Amino acid sequence: MAGTTEQATLMVQLAAWGSAIGADSGAIWADEFDPDTANVTDPAVRPILNWNETVGTLVKQGLLDRELVYDWLWVAGVWERVGPAALRAREKAGVPQLYENFEALAVGQRDLAAV
């Protein structure tokens, strides 16, 4: 499925929402950011996890085109930075669904790049 004008509008709205909640934080790219010690409660991490989980859910449900998202976002790279915090939170909570749509989207992009 190719992206539509409706999906492009949704993308712009998602970008605005992400900016408003701090999901575009450059803090995860700073040299001092450590994925191995980051926590889901970190102010730079939580909005990124929640925002990307929303994008992943929209893709999973067919409301946003996967290829359009992959062209727009480096989901796999962001997951590499904040995914470890998500996995620790998932294990601690005992909830395997926690951030699963973000992870699936990232894995899909990584696997696509490997081909």
Place of tokens 């946003």: 64
Residue 63: DSSP 8-state = S
- The tens digit of pLDDT for each residue in 51-68 reads 999 999 999 999 999 999
The structure's pTM equals 0.94
Examine the pLDDT at 2 and tell me if it is beyond 70. no
User: What sign does the dihedral 23-95-104-7 (CA atoms) show?
Assistant: negative
* 55 to 27, 37, 51, 76: CA distances (angstroms): 20, 25, 6, 13
Name the residue ranges covered by the structural domains of the chain: 5-114
Average pLDDT, the chain: 95
In one-letter notation, the amino acid at residue 10 is L
Continuous H helices in the chain: 5-21, 46-60, 66-72, 75-93, 100-114
